[in-house]
Structure 1
């Protein structure tokens, strides 16, 4: 947590952890925001749960503990899905949404994405974690990602695999039924032209479903634009936040 001003909570992709926002952290703080980033359970420095839990309840408790009544949510992929669901569950607490290649619980995965997941699972179960990591790095970073970005994703994904494989028994998060059409906060939904087809469709579908959303496709982006062009994404985030907090 850093800075003063309106609160902005950054929610990471399931390929990464809170460190994926290193490239936006200082820019958001210097732009006058109180910036918060967290690790979901099983990522970064947060171990897996040993009892039933909900990611959405975790976010609610985090904001309560920090004394944040109203927040702008910025979410990447999985974090974008969590941001959308939280905004639908607690519309009074969310001032705006900025979603970068978001996931969606409503999306029916294509045969290609299912096959990709099966390949990842096969590599993990056979102990070939290095290959599973490289599969993720190669799939989710677009052509503008430099070697530093690839190294960072490699580090974060490897850490997530190790954390998630550590418990003897896996505890899955509790699902809370949410109608995302209740997420009335102004939303800007970015897709990436170089992202996999499923997530390009999800970005458009989420924007169409939300009652107050705009969809933009970034012509240069893969699935993790915050890591691919950090400075440009900082400018996009700051511009949207300035617009919604001014309104």
Structure 2
């Protein structure tokens, strides 16, 4: 299947991969600005936004590569937030020729053991969903993942995206169960950060969960030549929290401005 996606602008190609609490709409606040300079591709990963979740095993990185094939794009700079960061790393592992550069914002990593803060969040979310309280589970996600700069519009946008993800995934699970099938699950892709061979920037929020700051520490220490950029104002989703701050930063990084990381 070809993931639902948007393709806008012209110039060097940039792929934006969304967080697991959102969908491709999380990039709405910055896509117009980026599209003035770049060709910007935004897919919805399976089970998010407008991409269904079939009852089959799949590989997110292969899905992204298939979108690039569909659009005739040989390679791209890949920007991934959270789950999107994990998929960006998996794309680099499975299809290294498709990735020119990585920008990993609060990235996830399968190989990282979940910290106590992430485990506590997961247990609370699971309990709410098992009780059928979808709205409380959605509110928990919004409260957990948005940093202090997020305004009411950002909270409303994330609420809509997270509610959509829960609805799509619960419906897929119910459909699979009715047909006696296992629900769709991503296949494990091993990522060896020490084998990443493209320029990599790891962005971390000062208000993000400790687990993800630890993942950032690990990636900066193990990806050859990786650089780190700490945003003291940001939580887990800086594009939603303060697009006016993150858009020029992304433009400078993607243009390869040598002064962007200067203190």
Does TM, scored on the shorter chain, surpass 0.5?
yes
Tell me if structure 1 keeps the 8 A contact 2:93–2:196.
yes
The counterpart of 2:145, out of the listed 140, 151, 154, is 140
CA distance in 1, matches of 2:185, 2:126: 16
Tell me if structure 1 keeps the 8 A contact 2:117–2:210.
no
Q: SS of the residue aligned with 1:190?
A: strand
Per the TM alignment, residue 65 of structure 1 is displaced from its structure 2 partner at its CA by: 1.1
CA distance in 2, matches of 1:113, 1:177: 21
Q: After superposition, what is the alpha-carbon deviation per residue over 1:13-55, rounded to whole angstroms, capped at 9, x for unaligned?
A: 000000000011001011x200000100000011112222111
2:171 pairs with 1:166: yes
Q: Provide the residue aligned with 2:22 in structure 1.
A: 16
Deviation larger for 34-43 or 60-69: 60-69
Per the TM alignment, residue 244 of structure 1 is displaced from its structure 2 partner at its CA by: 7.3
CA distance in 2, matches of 1:54, 1:85: 9
Per the TM alignment, residue 224 of structure 1 is displaced from its structure 2 partner at its CA by: 0.4
Q: SS of the residue aligned with 1:87?
A: helix
Q: CA RMSD in A?
A: 1.4
Tell me if structure 1 keeps the 8 A contact 2:16–2:78.
yes
Q: SS of the residue aligned with 1:189?
A: strand
CA distance in 2, matches of 1:237, 1:189: 12
Instruction: After TM superposition, list the pairs within 5 Å mapping 1:149-160 onto structure 2.
Output: 149-160=154-165
Per the TM alignment, residue 197 of structure 1 is displaced from its structure 2 partner at its CA by: 0.7
Q: Provide the residue aligned with 1:218 in structure 2.
A: 231
The counterpart of 2:79, out of the listed 74, 81, 92, is 74
Q: SS of the residue aligned with 1:166?
A: helix
Per the TM alignment, residue 181 of structure 1 is displaced from its structure 2 partner at its CA by: 2.3
**TM-score, length of structure 2 as denominator length:** 0.90
Show structure 1 runs of 5+ residues with no match.
none
Q: Provide the residue aligned with 1:129 in structure 2.
A: 134
Per the TM alignment, residue 229 of structure 1 is displaced from its structure 2 partner at its CA by: 0.8
Per the TM alignment, residue 180 of structure 1 is displaced from its structure 2 partner at its CA by: 2.9
Q: SS of the residue aligned with 2:186?
A: coil
Deviation larger for 236-245 or 34-43: 236-245
2:249 pairs with 1:236: yes
Tell me if structure 2 keeps the 8 A contact 1:186–1:244.
no
Per the TM alignment, residue 176 of structure 1 is displaced from its structure 2 partner at its CA by: 2.5
CA distance in 1, matches of 2:87, 2:61: 7
Tell me if structure 2 keeps the 8 A contact 1:123–1:129.
yes
Q: Which runs of 4+ in 1 moved over 6 A?
A: none
**TM-score, length of structure 1 as denominator length:** 0.95
CA distance in 2, matches of 1:70, 1:11: 15
Tell me if structure 1 keeps the 8 A contact 2:104–2:201.
yes
Tell me if structure 1 keeps the 8 A contact 2:193–2:223.
yes
Per the TM alignment, residue 111 of structure 1 is displaced from its structure 2 partner at its CA by: 2.3
Matched residues, number: 244
2:194 pairs with 1:188: no
